[in-house]
Amino acid sequence: MHVKIHDLIVIGGGPAGLAAALSAWECGVKDIVIVERDKELGGILNQCIHNGFGLHYFKEELTGPEYASRFIDMLRDSSVQVKLDTMVIELTDDKELHVVSSTNGYEILKAKAVILAMGCRERPRGPIGTPGTRPSGIFTAGQAQRYVNMEGYHVGRKAVILGSGDIGLIMARRLTLEGSEVLACVEIMPYSGGLARNIVQCLHDYDIPLYLSHTITQIHGYPRVEGVTISEVDDNRNPIPGTEQYIECDTVLLSVGLIPENELSKGANIAIDSRTGGPIVNQSLETSVEGIFACGNVVHVHDLVDYVTYESSEAGKSAAQRILKIASSNSADITHSITDENADVIQLINGNGISYTVPQLIDLKVKLHNIEVFFRTNRIFGKSTIHVKAGNSELKRFKRVRLTPGEMEKIVIDEDTLRQCISKGFDEIEVSVTEDPASEENVHFPVEKTVTLGEVL
Amino acid sequence: MTELICTVCPRGCHLKVYPEENYRVEGHQCARGEKYGQEEVKNPCRIITSTVCIEGAEHPRCPVKTNAPVPKQMIFNVVKTLNNVCLRSPVKAGDIVVENACGTGVDFITTRSM
């Protein structure tokens, strides 16, 4: 079987894949294929009919379909090929893709570089172990969103939402506007996992109560949901006996987290970070397998599609650089300009308060530049300081007014700081957070202006 | 006094708005937050998104939005105007679906070409 080697194959035609393919094309790569399993491009954006997308990237408020069409339209004017209704069933570490479709049957594709843009999937009922019957009427929030917004089904009359992730909040409003009654949004953590904007515009606007530190401890009814029991939980998230309340409902939506979809990545022996659930990437968004890059929710779950677009454009650029380098050197072996002999990589260590960083490591073989480090904290912090340390010395500190696990944060480690680390032979940089004591004044230390992610990007 | 969470940016400032003091705002950290606080108390408005029936397209529903924010208390009346709409493919994103919904001066437009 003759296998044509494409320059770049992008797996997934959602926001990440679209932005990655476009940016690689703009960098001069012409032979690009997007492989998409759905019958259309756009991914999850097609069902996200609400507005609020694009405030950072396009400086205007768009709905999901509008955001997607901006990229789909740009793609139409490029030479990027799109294979729709085509499922990748296997990816190998030498960048071979086994794909199936009803039009072409089984095919093998090969590429000089691959970008993983498969996104994420919703955590279902099983992993959270909610007791009770197994009736119909239980949906993940995104599943209900597709039914209601694209397929035109009404999912239920009286709903309770478990979890307060953004899709759950959006669906609380959506079901209310569709004439359903949303009785409660129940969140096991003492804070919501969703954006403040969504708490206000989806719950407060419609007087939907949010029960923090609560969870569903029983689902009742068969063959259809008839009600749920909710209970308060203690600090260890165990239900407190005696706090049970019964809520009559016919529908339960689960908005209990998103999991990067990495079956293909694992098959290609790509190293996965157990904290993000996605591939370990360096500052070029390259995974542990050379020439395979990853971006968007397959790497870590983002709050805003705008951030997915920025990240994916970077991945597209990195992949393009690799491809163009191969073309100019006429060889698949790329010789890196090694900046230091002592260490090949600097690991980013998660210190106090940090649940993960992306990238997880800085590859010193790649030309150094200012590196954007994205992270989430593992709890809510008020006025606080982010410390960047190597060895025993603090390299940088950043101030923030508020940090919450629900909102991704960003710091920039500049090139000079990185060079300092390399010259001192450090192979680890630790990022940590401490909450400021109310009275502390940091007058003697140069402090960066506090900026939010959106302002930087 | 009304307490609000600012939704202009992800920082989520906790605002206090005093209508009796000419809508003075406390707790904001930028000018946009101050404006948000005042508007949110004086006349809270929202863009409304929903779907309408469409025939002859890939999917049976076509997404729509209002082309300007609608006063919050009008939301339910405004979405009701969509109940009897049925579009016929092809439509272009931006096509008007309902004109001047409930006399608000605001139109519903499609957000996707189908």
Per residue in A137-160, pLDDT (tens digit) is 999 999 999 999 999 999 999 999
- 3-state DSSP assignment of residue A239: strand
Asked if residue B55 and residue B102 are part of one domain, the reply reads yes
Residues B105 and B62 placed together within one structural domain of the fold: yes
Q: Choose, out of B66, B111, B113, the residue to mutate when testing the contact with A (most A CBs < 10 Å).
A: B111
Position A1 scores a pLDDT of 65
> Residue A216 in contact with residue A125, Cβ under 8 Å?
no
The residues pairing with A110 across neighbouring beta strands, listed in sequence order, are A5, A96
Tell me the mean pLDDT in the region A227-254. 97
Pair (A190, A289) in one structural domain: no
Whether residue A193 is predicted with pLDDT greater than 90 in this model: the reply is no
- Same structural domain, B14 and B61: no
Strands A96-101 and A214-220, bridge-based pairing:
unpaired
Closest CA to A24 of A291, A265, A365: A291
- Of A262-266, A328-332, B28-32, B108-112, the poorest mean pLDDT is in A328-332
Identify any residues that bridge with A220 across adjacent strands, giving them in sequence order.
Answer: A227
Q: Which residue of B7, B53, B59 is in closest CB contact with A200?
A: B7
Instruction: Kindly indicate the confidence band of residue A176, based on its pLDDT and cuts at 50, 70 and 90.
Output: very high
The domain containing residue B7 runs over which residues? Answer: 2-42
Measured CA to CA in angstroms, residue A44 lies from A38, A296, B109 at distances of 10, 12, 21
Q: How many domains does chain A have?
A: 3
pLDDT of residue A420: 86
Contact residues for A286 (Cβ-Cβ < 8 A; gap 6+): A292, A293, A318, A363, A366
- Looking at the 3D structure of chain B, how many domains does it have? 2
pLDDT in tens, A183-192: 999 999 998 8
Q: With CA atoms as reference, report the closest residue to A260 among A297, A305, A207, A222.
A: A297
Q: Which of A49, A151, A454 sits opposite B63 (nearest CB)?
A: A49
CA-derived radius of gyration, chain B: 18
Please give the residue of chain A at the shortest CA–CA distance from B8: A197
> Does residue A371 sit within a domain?
yes
Q: What is the pLDDT of residue A456?
A: 34
Given a cut of 60, is residue A443 above it in pLDDT? no
Looking at residue A447, what is its pLDDT? 36
Asked whether A22 and A316 are in contact (CB, 8 A), the reply is: yes
- Domain final residue, candidates A207, A234, A256: A256
pLDDT in tens, A375-410: 999 988 888 999 999 988 899 999 988 888 878 899
Tokens in use for A188?
């096991």
Q: Are A240 and A130 in a shared domain?
A: yes
Residue A371 to residue A308: CA distance in whole angstroms: 17
Distance, in Å, from the CA atom of A340 to the CA atom of B40, rounded to the nearest integer, reads 55
Is B7 at the interface with chain A, CB within 8 A? yes
Q: Residue A290: helix, strand or coil by DSSP? A: coil
Bridge-based pairing state of the strands A258-260 and A120-122: antiparallel
In this prediction, residue A453 carries a pLDDT of 36
As a whole number, mean pLDDT of residues A166-170 equals 92
Same-domain check for residues A153 and A242:
yes
B66 to chain A: which residues are within 8 Å by CB? none
Interface touch A402/B60, C-beta < 8 Å: no
Q: A379 and A302 in one domain?
A: no
Closest chain A residue by Cα to residue B93: A66
Q: Determine, for residues A39 and B49 on separate chains, whether the beta-carbon distance falls below 8 Å.
A: no
Residues B77 and B32 in one domain: no
Q: pLDDT exceeding 70 applies to what percent of chain A? A: 92
Where helices occur in A392-440 by DSSP H, the ranges are 415-423
CA dist A77 to A22, A25, A70, A303, Å?
10, 11, 12, 29
Residues A41 and A84 in one domain: yes
Assembly ipTM: 0.91
**Chain B residues whose beta carbon lies within 8 Å of the beta carbon of residue A46:** 112
- Who has greater pLDDT, A300 or A369? A300
- SS3 assignment, position A65: helix
pLDDT for the residue A196: 80
Of the pLDDT bands very low, low, confident and very high (cuts 50, 70, 90), residue A348 is: very high
- Chain B's closest residue to A198, CA to CA, is B7
- At A327 the pLDDT is 81
Tell me how many degrees the CA angle A333-A337-A341 measures, rounded to the nearest 5. 115
Cβ <8 Å between A201 and B58: no
In a domain, A340, yes or no: no
pLDDT at residue A328 is higher than 90: no
Residues B53 and B104 in one domain: yes
Q: Are A182 and A176 in contact (CB under 8 A)?
A: yes
Edge-to-edge strand ranges of the sheet holding A158-162: A138-140, A251-254, A158-162, A181-186, A210-211
Percentage, residues of chain A above pLDDT 90 = 75
Q: pLDDT by residue (tens digit) across B87-114?
A: 999 999 999 999 999 999 999 999 999 9
Residue A335 forms part of a structural domain: no
Task: Examine the domain organization and report whether B53 and B37 are in the same domain.
Answer: no
Within its chain, how far is the Cα of A254 from the centroid?
A: 18
- Which of A72-76, A374-378, B9-13 shows the lowest per-residue confidence on average (mean pLDDT)? B9-13
Instruction: Provide the CA A2 distance to its chain's centre, in angstroms.
Output: 36
Residues B75 and B90 in one domain: yes
Domain, as residue range, for A416: 345-456
- The interface residues of chain B toward chain A in range 25-54, judged by CB-CB distance below 8 A, are 29, 46-51, 53
Burial of residue B72 (CB within 10 Å: 0-12, 13-18, 19+) is: middle
Question: Residue B59 contacts by C-beta under 8 Å, 6 or more apart in sequence?
Answer: A150, A151, A152, B114
The answer to whether residues B32 and B60 belong to one domain is no
Q: Residue A172 above 70 pLDDT?
A: yes
Phi, psi of A259 (to 5 degrees): -125, 120
Same domain assignment for residues B69 and B84: yes
Same-domain status, A145 and A231: yes
Shared domain check, A273 and A244: no
pLDDT surpassing 70 at residue B7: yes
Residues B56, B36 within the same domain: no
CA distances to A286, A381, A408, A431, B51 from A402, in Å: 31, 6, 11, 17, 36
- State whether B54 and B89 are in the same domain: yes
For residue A444, pLDDT beyond 50? no
Mean pLDDT of A170-190: 96
CATH number at residue B84: 3.10.530.10
Q: DSSP string of A153-181?
A: ----SEEEEES--HHHHHHHHHHHHTT-E
Q: What is the pLDDT at residue A452?
A: 36
Lowest mean pLDDT among A115-119, A425-429, B99-103: A425-429
| Best CA proximity match to B67, nearest among A172, A63, A148, A152 | A63
Look at B47 and A51 and tell me if their CB atoms are within 8 Å: yes
A334, part of any domain? no
pLDDT in tens, A51-62: 989 988 999 999
Whole-angstrom CA distances from B17 to A195, A205, A211, B31 are 22, 17, 26, 14
CATH number of the domain at A165, please.
3.50.50.60
Contact A347, A271 (CB under 8 A): no
d(CA A10, CA A367): 24
3-state DSSP assignment of residue A418: helix
Whether B57 and B94 share a structural domain: yes
In the predicted structure, residue A351 carries a pLDDT above the cut 50: yes
Q: What is the mean pLDDT of residues B19-24?
A: 92
Integer Cα distance of A15 and A244 in angstroms: 42
Report the gap between the CA of B26 and the closest CA in chain A (Å). 16
Q: Among A61-70, A400-409, A413-422, name the most confident range.
A: A61-70
* pLDDT single digits (tens) A263-284: 999 999 999 999 999 999 999 9
Contact at CB, A66 and B112, closer than 8 angstroms: yes
Residue A343 has pLDDT above 60, yes or no: no
* Residue bearing tokens 């009785």: A183
Within 8 A of B9 by CB-CB distance, chain A residues are: 452, 454-455
Are A75 and A92 part of one and the same domain? Answer: yes
Please state, in angstroms and rounded to a whole number, the distance separating the CA atoms of residues A11 and A92: 13
- Residue A230 domain flag: yes
The average confidence (pLDDT) of chain A is 90
Of residues A402 and A356, the one with the higher pLDDT is A356
Average pLDDT over residues A232-246: 96
